[in-house]
């Protein structure tokens, strides 16, 4: 295909362009997860009560199983494309497109949700942003385009910026995990445990989608496999290190905050980490932490803008998306695709004008989780085929990998159920639109005989 040749030519004509290292890719995974999820999580979980902390156990195990499955798929399938390439091994081009496009849309939905969260934090410094729905929408659109343009510098620049903005998460969260325990009150935590009188099952289930939202991003290392040094070694390691580190941080930080800030204040907070630091050290420190949190949100949005453009570039290189998505500048940044996705996210942002910010944010999070988890299931279900095609996989390794993959898929299915009826309805509509679009794209694809799985690893 000409598109593949164009992408390959572009990549090989600039051999001196640096790619991401293991540390940079691990930081990108951590930023993609923690930058958006952890910043608002304590407040959202406080609306259920500290009982929601139980859902961390289920989500952490499920997320580790998913990350392990992706890491193993990356070991036996080194093709560019991440989850879509894994799905292609089992389901051909149809599976590739379905996985790619659902994941692609979920990133666009999630980006808008992250931008809305950032605007909520910024409103403490610029009250105009929350003065009217149109003002909030303008703020979201400005952030979307600011982070889009910042990615024009290519993958190495994105990694460097991410390695700076991640400190906006590390400083306040690490501080809470360590120093916060000196301010922890058992009485405050006990009062926050179950203010709604929920059963253990109900409390746990009500927070599954919320906690999984915090882990979304575990797959971004595999998704950026063609932009990293030594991907066969570094992608699995970045998946595991990023997910494991995030799980520990999430559990420690959300637990200790529930024992510092009274439940009613925490549930109504627009900046839970800032309020916790203000409770410990005063308002000035709280303001500083709020500024760092804004930095973290921008870093997370920057990382996701890069990931979504890289996903489109890979699919275009495979002939499953318009060729302009594969065109890059001299820094290997797919600028045209980035601009197109900026327009798509702008349209999504405009759709948030009528509902309230918090209601629309919740709806976007639920829809992003459903559209993200379905590609997880498709890609993980291909692991058995991937290992059989690779050949020489010991029986014990095969059984272990399949067991973990099944755990990851069952957890993903439960997450869809726990996301609620509205999110499932929205995900169903998105899937219907995906098949309609594929009906047009499939007519432009080469015959199946020449485009089936061709991996030789």
Q: What is the DSSP string of 342-371?
A: HHHHHHHHHTTSSS-HHHHHHHHHHHHHHH
Per-residue pLDDT tens digits for 393-402: 888 889 998 9
Digit-coded pLDDT (tens) for 16-38 = 456 777 777 777 776 666 655 67
Task: Give the mean pLDDT of 352-365.
Answer: 66
Q: Which long-range contacts (CB under 8 A, 24 or more apart) does 381-386 make?
A: 381/90, 381/405, 381/409, 382/73, 382/86, 382/87, 382/88, 382/89, 382/90, 382/91, 382/95, 383/69, 383/72, 383/73, 383/86, 384/90, 385/89, 385/90, 386/73, 386/76, 386/77, 386/86, 386/89, 386/90
Determine the Cα–Cα distance for residues 48 and 36; give it in Å rounded to an integer.
Answer: 19
Rounded distance between C-alpha atoms, residue 287 and residue 280, angstroms: 13
DSSP state of 302: H
- State the sign of the Cα–Cα–Cα–Cα dihedral 318, 10, 82, 364: negative
Residues 6+ apart with CB under 8 A from 425: none
Q: DSSP labels for 56-110?
A: HHHHHHHHHHHHHHHHHHHHH---TTTHHHHHHHHHHHHHHHHHHHHHHHHHHHH
Q: What DSSP assignment string belongs to 158-181? A: HHHHHHHHTHHHHHHHHHHHHHGG
386 band by pLDDT with thresholds 50, 70 and 90? very high
What are the tens digits of pLDDT across the range 404-437?
999 999 999 999 988 888 888 888 888 888 888 8
Predicted local confidence at residue 196, as pLDDT: 82
Average pLDDT of the segment spanning 130-136:
81
Residue 36 DSSP code: H
Host H or E run for residue 443: none
pTM: 0.76
Give the position of tokens 């006990």: 190
Say what the pLDDT of residue 34 is.
67
Look at 151 and 12; give whichever has higher pLDDT.
151
Give the mean pLDDT of 188-195.
Answer: 88
State both tokens at 454: 């061709």
Q: What is the mean pLDDT of the chain?
A: 79
């Amino acid at each position: 295909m000409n598109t593949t040749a164009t992408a390959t030519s572009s990549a090989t004509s600039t051999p001196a362009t640096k790619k991401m290292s293991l540390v940079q890719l691990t930081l990108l995974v951590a930023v993609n997860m923690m930058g958006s999820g952890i910043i608002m999580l304590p407040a959202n979980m406080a609306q259920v009560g500290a009982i929601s902390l139980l859902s961390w156990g289920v989500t952490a195990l499920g997320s580790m199983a998913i990350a392990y499955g992706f890491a193993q798929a990356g070991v036996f399938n080194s093709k560019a494309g991440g989850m879509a390439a894994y799905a292609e091994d089992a389901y051909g081009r149809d599976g590739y497109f379905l996985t790619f496009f659902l994941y692609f849309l979920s990133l666009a939905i999630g980006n808008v949700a992250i931008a809305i969260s950032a605007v909520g934090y910024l409103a403490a410094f610029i009250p105009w942003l929350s003065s009217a729905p149109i003002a909030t929408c303008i703020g979201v659109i400005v952030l979307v385009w600011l982070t889009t343009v910042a990615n024009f510098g290519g993958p190495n620049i994105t990694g460097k910026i991410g390695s700076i903005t991640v400190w906006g998460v590390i400083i306040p969260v690490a501080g809470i995990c360590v120093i916060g325990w000196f301010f922890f009150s058992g009485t405050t935590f006990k009062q926050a445990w179950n203010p709604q009188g929920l059963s253990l099952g109900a409390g746990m289930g009500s927070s599954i989608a919320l906690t999984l939202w915090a882990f979304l991003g575990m797959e971004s290392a595999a998704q950026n496999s063609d932009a990293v040094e030594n991907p066969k070694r570094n992608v699995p390691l970045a998946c595991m290190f990023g997910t494991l580190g995030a799980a520990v941080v999430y559990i420690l930080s959300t637990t200790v905050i529930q024992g510092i800030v009274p439940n009613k204040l925490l549930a109504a907070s627009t900046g839970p980490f800032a309020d916790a630091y203000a409770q410990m050290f005063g308002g000035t420190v709280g303001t500083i932490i709020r500024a760092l949190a804004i930095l973290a949100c921008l870093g997370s949005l920057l990382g996701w803008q890069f990931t979504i453009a890289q996903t489109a570039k890979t699919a275009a290189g495979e002939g499953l998306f318009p060729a302009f998505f594969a065109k890059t500048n001299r820094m290997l940044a797919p600028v045209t695709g980035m601009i197109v996705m900026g327009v798509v996210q702008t349209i999504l942002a405009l759709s948030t004008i009528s509902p309230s910010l918090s209601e629309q944010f919740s709806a976007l999070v639920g829809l992003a989780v459903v559209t993200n988890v379905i590609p997880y299931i498709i890609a993980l279900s291909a692991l058995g085929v991937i290992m059989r095609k690779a050949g020489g996989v010991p029986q014990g390794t095969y059984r272990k990998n399949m067991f973990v993959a099944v755990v990851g898929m069952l957890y993903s299915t439960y997450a869809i159920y726990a996301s609620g009826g509205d999110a499932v309805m929205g995900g169903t509509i998105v899937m219907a639109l995906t098949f309609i679009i594929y009906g047009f794209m499939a007519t432009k694809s080469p015959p199946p005989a020449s485009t089936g799985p061709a991996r030789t690893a």
